[in-house]
Amino acid sequence: MLAGIDGLLGLARDLAESRTLLVGQAVAGGLLLLYAVLAPATVDARTRRRRDELLRKALRPGLLFVYGGYVTAAELVTALPYFAALALLGDAALPFPATLAVLVVYCLVFVTPPVGVAVLYRRRRERIDAWVGRQGERPGGRGREALLWIAGIAGFVLLSRALAGLGVL
């Protein structure tokens, strides 16, 4: 990666500007925006039970593997700072051991927080699950409303950027 990062960054830039990806982004943004506007802000008990049943079915190992592949593809954009750091390291006139040490430290900085959260969750799973459950069931809880706002904002941003990239706006 250190030797050929320029080619990889060019490929990522070309992919991000491709018409197919922009159309897909516009569709995803539009669907998120529609969901945010049309979905009910509260969910009744029957719908919640049905959702929980569907969730149990969806968490099969094969489907989790597919979900993981999708998330990896969707999160590729968040790797751009990593690619930029690799480009800077590739252009730096540092000896290989120093470059490798900087790369290892950089990766540790980004990997440590999620690993810490995972360890904390494994140690305190029951308490965390109970707390999250209570927050979702509170009458004054605004979790679903917040989700709809986030979906609406993300949908608007995706749709507007895609339309601007396609030259519609």
Does pTM surpass 0.85? Answer: no
Residues 6+ apart with CB under 8 A from 163: 26, 169
CB atoms within 10 A of CB 89: 18
Q: What is the pLDDT along the chain (169 residues), one digit of tens a residue?
A: 555 666 666 777 777 778 888 899 999 999 999 999 998 877 778 887 887 888 788 778 888 888 888 888 777 777 777 777 777 777 777 888 888 888 888 888 888 988 999 999 999 989 988 887 777 666 555 677 888 899 999 999 999 989 998 888 7
Using a CB cutoff of 8 Å and minimum separation of 24, what contacts does 1-10 make? 1/86, 2/86, 2/89, 2/90, 2/99, 2/103, 3/90, 5/83, 5/86, 5/87, 5/90, 6/87, 6/90, 8/83, 9/83, 9/84, 9/87
The tokens for 100 are: 């490798």
